[in-house]
Structure 1
């Protein structure tokens, strides 16, 4: 960290100097519904809005499908204020349903956790129908009926909007793996075609009074760092986030393509930043939800997109699969970066070299955000090197500052504390008022601040450094922060280590203290004994790991490094010698 200076980031807002005046002058968050926001920015009815496996869907069709879906939702009994459970991948029909739900004054409910957790969410919603893909099994349907109290399901074919010849073999293979021998059937099911047909005949009231603050989108946190929580967003908060970044990846010379692979709309960032934002900023949205994570490199080479929302798991796949030819030109990507979780210096170095070796002109960057903030909180608009936890600067209408953890005492620059956010993208709240009150606090200045639980600092020019999740004191002194510890090893360039990450677990012998475990992916021919001494030399005394454990590759859960699963394994003694 730089030499400490005085000042309060929330007042100074030093990051604003990076934004050109012509970009932010007169920029305000529109008081619109999501549908109004998109339609105002629609480039024309005959322009292609979405490409889905060989088929172009024009804006005219999108509008027609939204209107018909709204009538269909009314026809099967959904009304203003209802929650509509939707278990779909990122297919065009999801977008139709989201906008249709807004028209009738309802909210969509998305969850992608275990079957038991999904059933629990539907039961709490009070919904009597769910909407799912036709690979829902009959056993799963019966459990939803028995345990959640639904009366039936609308089932959508995954390729309804596609051209069958538009799916590559690897997508067919993945799609076929989702089906069971006993898919849902019978009188408790309704096909998508039947669902839309009854909407076509519906003549009752469809649209609810406009209310941009009414709940519209309910999704659950991944559960990768703790219990999964339902996050509620409105049209106001969703537009509040996307309006600050819909210039990102823009081009005045041609219309960029924007590809989304595999990531499900049960994630806030996917819906707001990856589906709605490109539609609102005149980009051609390419949807490829049915591709296995291990095949995203093939889909990148197939579509050659200009923008492709990456996460660490995806870029690792592209680099490690070995299927991208040495002479493959990646200059089609003019934005490249990883969101979803922290990216250490070793990962950054490898990713940047891979891009440069393949003629990509984009600088590899890291992002920062969370479901509670509506997706992104920062943009990589900074002159500082993208390393050491640098996640860029706050978005134009988003104030980020550092506070003494759990308080409204704002800290100055270059001082470690809790990263907090105040802005128009902040969620309405959780479905649990008590949990909301613990996370969103009204500070003494009257502002509504989101306390992220992340620990970091801000430099005097507004650059944010996100270092770890929560405070983790070690018995005897020192606070364990995963990213700085990983970066010490990365910068030491320990011979034999290809990838490394820490998992911080509760200390079984000392209450409210923690201990670190180091997991490594080793180069061929190396063992843990070969790296042990150099690891010890590279870390401070309080950072020394309880154990160093070699894995064949970095494990992921819900698209993040599976630290919570490894924590369970450690506590269960799986790695005991």
Structure 2
């Protein structure tokens, strides 16, 4: 279609959004894709004594982070781990996480992080799909790993104490109410302390940043079960360079030299991993590490360490707004707060800015774009309900969801992205890759799966999700994964899961189930929910189960979830009126 080239030339090629950038932010940055470990090596050389992490009051300098990651690399090398091998990380935020991550990268290995709330079944599934050879975890999660290795055999399991890098071994644990199990160590199950006893290696793999993978991040992609997104060194290093001008705006405005970033957003997720963990190392920032959400503790740490940057999800900012002690703490050091992963309610943003004096802006990105593609201007025109403007060196457009054609402003279609942060493709999923990308106007475009539009000034808006995904408190929940678990129940004949709007969680998973005849009247919705507890992480479990005699279907027998969603929306409308 010739019109698509006209749309590109007129509305996309010249990046109309640039005129609304904050002062000093360029349309493009000179990107130099680099192996990620070079950023850590630079900080060790130039800022070795600068504090990289503050963990329960203990300050860990860059020199220690670099040396310990060299020791991890030496141990992995001794075990035969090299370029292209996969190392799994199954732990909450702790200094061990980036140390292991960068130790693996130095060998050219690929890291696949796992949600610490995963059940043994989920750990085993991802390890198997990724082809992981070694897994690092923490003692408080070891029981899950012990069960997981019965389903998928790992060559080595390394167990760190959750208290590693803490100043005290007793008080933090007591406060966190955690009781680590006794672990039987062996040649296959190794303590982290033993790994650190290796002499540090100076070995660095020869990396092609544009081709070689840094991470295998699991996401829902466009449909179905989670799949591994192949993220290169170049994808992440490009995004870090694209983000720097935005951080520099804050530096100039607030007179900040070295940034202090809150490390609450989980690092197993691409959002926290890139914008906090990787960016902290890239920029030589100090990161205040929190392994679990605690709003009172969060505000206390912001005040104590004069934190400048906070990344979070809408529910986090809403919890701060409504915390009974919010007026007790001085949060004025906050300069730059970003909300992602779900739509940010206007009132939540307004109240948060009033309370803190900080700038809170909505942004947008995906695992497949490693990670940020859009952000509202920090001090310029921020539009309510918009995900903002494409960041420097990024092309964004609206495309026909079924054709490789671009649409003009104010027409709803699928948001598509082209830029150096766009991932390589899905791991062992050729059919998914064929659906996810298309060529147009000399560029390779990625289909985000989100429906939206762009206005005349280059601001983008999301109006609906094409993906069959539920957003529960910022977590991505894939209905098909829940359905597959439900179908394992001996009494379930048919199952369909949808997201139902919820005032606090955003959406909750609701399951519609048709029971087998012999089970009717013998099981309850509560029985079904309880049955999923050891099979799904808590945020994935259905919050509501409704039994039906039948489910709506198309002529070919496909269950029509859109009809179920329409029914639920009608119920909510009746309640609200």
1:47-62 maps to which residues of 2 (within 5 A)? 47-62=50-65
Q: What is aligned with 1:13? A: 15
List per-residue Cα deviations over 1:440-459 (Å, max 9, x = no partner): 32323342111011111111
- The 1:126/1:320 distance shift into structure 2, 3 A limit, reads same
| 1:239–1:152 Cα change, 3 Å | closer
Query: Which of 524, 545, 549 is matched with 1:569 structurally?
Result: 545
Match of 1:341 in 2: 342
Task: Say if 1:182 and 1:455 are closer, same or farther in 2 by CA, change over 3 A.
Answer: same
What corresponds to 1:200 in structure 2? 199
Instruction: Please name the residue that 1:404 is paired with.
Output: 400
Q: Distance in 1 between matches of 2:220 and 2:431?
A: 16
Question: Is the counterpart of residue 331 in structure 1 residue 329 in structure 2?
Answer: no
**Residue in 1 aligned with 2:371?**
375
Residue 227 of structure 1 pairs with residue 225 of structure 2: yes
Using structure 1 for the length normalisation, give the TM-score. 0.74
The answer for the alignment partner of 2:561 in structure 1 is none
Residue 89 of structure 1 aligns to a residue whose secondary structure is coil
Deviation at 1:282, TM superposition (A): 3.4
* More displaced 10-residue stretch of structure 1: 402-411 or 109-118: 109-118
After TM superposition, give the deviation of residue 295 of structure 1 in Å: 5.3
1:242 equivalent to 2:206? Answer no
Deviation at 1:519, TM superposition (A): 4.0
What's the counterpart of residue 447 of structure 2?
A: 451
Which of 134, 144, 154 in structure 1 is aligned with 2:158? 154
**Which aligned pairs between 1:28-47 and structure 2 lie closer than 5 A?**
28-40=30-42, 43-47=46-50
Deviations 1:387-444 (A, max 9, x none): 2x21110011111100111321100011111111101001111113335424532323
Distance verdict in 2 for CA 1:114–1:65, change over 3 Å: same
- What is the count of residue pairs matched by the alignment? 487
Are the structure 2 counterparts of residues 116 and 174 from structure 1 closer, same or farther at C-alpha, using a change threshold of 3 Å? farther
1:114-155 per-position Cα deviation (integer Å, ceiling 9, x unaligned): 3212101222344443211112334x3443332211244111
Any idea what SS the aligned residue of 1:247 has?
helix
Corresponding residue of 2:560:
none
Q: Are the counterparts in 1 of residues 53 and 288 from structure 2 also a CA contact under 8 Å?
A: yes
Deviation of 1:323 (Å): 2.0
1:288 is the counterpart of 2:264? no
**Other-structure match for 1:467:** 463
Structure 1 position 211 matched with structure 2 position 208: yes
Q: Structure 2 CA distance, aligned partners of 1:271 and 1:505?
A: 25
Cα deviation for residue 310 of structure 1 reads 1.7
Match of 1:133 in 2: 138
Q: Is the aligned partner of 1:426 residue 2:422?
A: yes
Unaligned ranges ≥5, structure 1: 1-5, 473-480, 484-498, 507-512, 523-559
State the match for 1:486 in structure 2: none
Q: Does the CA-based 8 Å contact 2:413-2:451 persist in structure 1?
A: yes
Change (3 A) 1:10 1:114: farther
Residue aligning to 1:322: 324
Distance in structure 2 (CA, Å) of the matches to 1:321 and 1:225: 37
The structural deviation recorded for 1:40 is 4.6
Whether the 8 Å CA contact 2:49–2:61 is kept in 1: the answer is yes
Q: CA deviation at 1:304?
A: 4.1
Report the Cα distance in structure 2 between the residues aligned to 1:28 and 1:229, rounded to whole angstroms: 32
Where do residues 507-518 of structure 1 align in structure 2 (5 Å cutoff)? none
- Are 2:130 and 1:121 equivalent residues in the alignment? no
Which of residues 75, 78, 81 in structure 2 aligns to 1:78?
A: 81
Equivalent-residue separation in structure 1 for 2:424 and 2:315 (angstroms) = 30
Q: Is the 8 A contact 1:351 1:364 kept in 2?
A: yes
* Offset at residue 38 of structure 1 (A): 4.5
Q: Matches of 2:321 and 2:220 in 1, distance apart?
A: 25
Name which of structure 1's ranges 272-281 and 56-65 shifts more when overlaid on structure 2. Answer: 56-65
Contact 2:88/2:113, CA 8 A, preserved across alignment: yes
Relative to the length of structure 2, the TM-score reads: 0.74
Give 1:163's aligned residue: 167
What RMSD, in angstroms, separates the aligned Cα atoms of the two structures? 3.9
2:96 pairs with one of 84, 93, 96: 93
Per mean C-alpha deviation after superposition, the further-off stretch among 273-282 and 24-33 is: 24-33
Aligned residue number for residue 190 of structure 1? 190
The alignment partner of 1:266 has SS state of coil
User: What is the deviation of 1:319?
Assistant: 2.0
Shift, 1:263, TM fit: 3.2
Task: Please give the alpha-carbon distance, in whole angstroms, between the structure 1 residues aligned to 2:177 and 2:497.
Answer: 44
SS of match in other structure, 1:437: helix
- Distance in 2, matches of 1:516 and 1:194, equals 45
**1:349 offset after TM fit, Å?**
1.2
Cα 1:242/1:521, change in 2 over 3 Å: closer
Q: What stretches of structure 2 of length at least 5 have no aligned partner?
A: 1-5, 481-495, 506-536, 550-563
